[in-house]
């Protein structure tokens, strides 16, 4: 069974640009969550989607947005990039409300 | 809001040593508790979980017991191996709220030397 797939794995952007990250969940998983991981702040929750609806949102500015498609694939977008947005962005999917998340390897974003 | 506090380390041990990583939590409801592990260059993997008070989660020789009275979920292993070197995250989830959101501790980096 294929795991959670995130693309791209690495990317470099400059301040002011925007970026879109993609996540394909495990087949059959309808819930997708996104987390930002940085050395200073650790793992912080961005948002969670279930059946194309945003179910929960973390404390991030409006520059961070996401969506989920009918096939459960998800994308997140960050507009007007800032240096502080440099991080590993992790996507996770789950089958049911057990709190057991399956994480992808992440997309490492560097903002110059 | 809910929060998780864990010893940040880094922790360096010799092979076959005993491991304890402390984790305490603050939550308004009755959360489920988790330990996730992140090996170098990889995403997080669930190591073990406990869903109610006095439950013991175990996997790969690691154990943790949900202690409601002390709001703790300490991770232990009797004899660590070099392959256990990784970053360990304690987390909670209030799944009863209809959300899968996890609140993580800052992580503890473990290095095991041969």
Q: pLDDT (tens digit, 9 = 90+) per residue, B28-75? A: 888 999 999 999 888 899 999 999 999 999 999 999 999 999 999 999
To which H or E segment does residue A89 belong? strand A87-94
- pLDDT surpassing 80 at residue B100: no
DSSP codes joined into one string, B78-92: SS--GGG-EEEEEEE
Closest residue on chain B to A32 (Cα): B100
- pLDDT surpassing 90 at residue B98: no
pLDDT of residue A95: 84
Residues of B in Cβ contact (< 8 Å) with A105: 41-43
Residue of B65, B105, B103 whose CA lies nearest to B88:
B105
Determine whether the interchain pair B34/A103 forms a contact, defined as Cβ–Cβ distance below 8 Å. no
Tokens of B97: 């709220």
Neighbours of B38 (CB within 10 A): 22
pLDDT of residue A52: 93
- Name the 3-class secondary structure at B84: helix
Confidence band of A1 (pLDDT split at 50, 70, 90)? low
Determine whether the interchain pair A48/B98 forms a contact, defined as Cβ–Cβ distance below 8 Å. no
DSSP label at residue B24? E
């Amino acid at each position: 069974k294929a795991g959670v797939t995130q693309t791209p794995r690495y990317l470099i952007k400059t301040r002011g640009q925007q970026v879109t990250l993609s996540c394909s969940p495990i087949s059959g998983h309808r819930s997708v969550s996104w987390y930002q991981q940085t050395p200073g702040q650790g793992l912080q929750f961005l948002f969670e989607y279930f059946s194309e609806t945003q179910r929960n949102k973390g404390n991030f500015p409006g520059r961070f947005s996401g969506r989920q498609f009918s096939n459960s694939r998800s994308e997140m977008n960050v507009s007007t990039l800032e240096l502080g947005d440099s991080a590993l962005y992790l996507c996770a999917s789950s089958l049911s409300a057990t709190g057991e998340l399956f994480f992808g390897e992440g997309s490492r974003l560097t903002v110059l | 809001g809910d929060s998780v506090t864990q010893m940040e380390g880094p922790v360096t041990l010799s092979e076959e040593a005993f491991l304890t990583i402390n984790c305490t939590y603050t939550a308004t409801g009755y959360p489920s508790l988790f330990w996730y592990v992140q090996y170098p260059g990889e995403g997080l993997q669930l190591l073990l979980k406990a869903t109610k008070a006095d439950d013991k989660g175990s996997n790969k020789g690691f154990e943790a017991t949900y202690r409601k009275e002390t709001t703790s979920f300490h991770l232990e292993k009797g004899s660590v191996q070099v392959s256990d070197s990784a970053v360990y995250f304690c987390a909670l989830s209030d799944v009863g709220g209809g959300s899968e959101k996890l609140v993580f501790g800052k992580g503890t980096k473990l290095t095991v030397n041969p």
